[in-house]
Amino acid sequence: MILGIAGKTGCGKNLLAQSLEARGFVHFDLDLWAHDALEGCLDAIIGEFGNAVIDSRGNINRKAIGLLVFKNPSKRQKLQDIIYPWLEKNILEELAKCDKAILNGALLSESNLAEKCDLIFWIKSPWILRLIRIWKRDKIKLSAIFQRFRAQRFLKPQLFSSKVDIHIVYNRLNPQKFIKTAESKVFN
């Protein structure tokens, strides 16, 4: 069984993933895998974006590339065209070794990996709660949080293929209820 977990930043994706991981699911954090993909596609990224996205040690400067692509949809698409094939190939190889897995990431809908899911949870949470969670977790400025919100404003469950069951789960002020509601879709 492969479960997808998606939703906007700060909605509680990792909370649900941790709970399912404790019940035997292998957790694939797509954000962390994307960081590996940046390094795995280093030459192609330099070829497309130049040395401005490289740090002094020759590694990808994630902040620099983020600033470059988050404000420019065509550059963002070029980056996705470079890293998504690497990401999908490597994750599919690892998924083949798992009986139960979680694909967790805000941008799950933008990859072909969503079609591999048996069920996808779309987590919704009020923006003010998401803002507080991010501020406490990441300790970043409010302006940076709102920049993330703007970058994800078009994310919605309707972006997923109609071939996959989507369950919308609300994460408000009661994390236990949120987890119980989501898990009831898997274990009942």
For 41, the enclosing helix (H) or strand (E) is none
Strand segments, DSSP code E, in 30-115 are 101-104
Among 80-94, 148-162, 170-184, the range scoring the smallest mean pLDDT is: 148-162
Q: Where are the domains of the chain?
A: 1-25+100-188, 31-98
Q: How many other C-beta atoms are found inside a 10 Å radius of the C-beta of residue 91?
A: 20
At residue 153 the predicted structure's pLDDT band, cuts being 50, 70 and 90, is confident
For residue 32 the two structure tokens come to: 């962390």
Superfamily of domain 31-98: P-loop containing nucleotide triphosphate hydrolases (3.40.50.300)
With 0-12 / 13-18 / 19 or more C-beta atoms within 10 angstroms meaning exposed / middle / buried, residue 96 is: exposed
Instruction: Say what the pLDDT of residue 87 is.
Output: 94
Q: Is 172 helix (H, G, I), strand (E, B) or coil?
A: coil
CATH of domain 1-25+100-188: 3.40.50.300
Mean pLDDT of the chain: 92
Please name which of 14, 9, 10 lies closest in space to residue 182, comparing C-alpha atoms: 14
Distance CA 125, CA 107 (A): 17
The 10s digit of each residue's pLDDT in 169-182 is 999 989 999 999 99
Q: Is pLDDT above 80 for 126?
A: yes
**CB-based contact 121:170 (threshold 8 Å):** no
Among 8-12, 96-100, 163-167, the range scoring the smallest mean pLDDT is: 163-167
For residue 72 the two structure tokens come to: 């420019």
Instruction: Determine how β-strand 2-7 pairs with β-strand 119-124.
Output: parallel
Instruction: Say what the pLDDT of residue 175 is.
Output: 93
Q: What are phi and psi of 68, to 5 degrees?
A: -70, -45
Same fold, 1-25+100-188 and 31-98: yes
**Amino acid residing at 74:** S
**CB-based contact 68:75 (threshold 8 Å):** yes
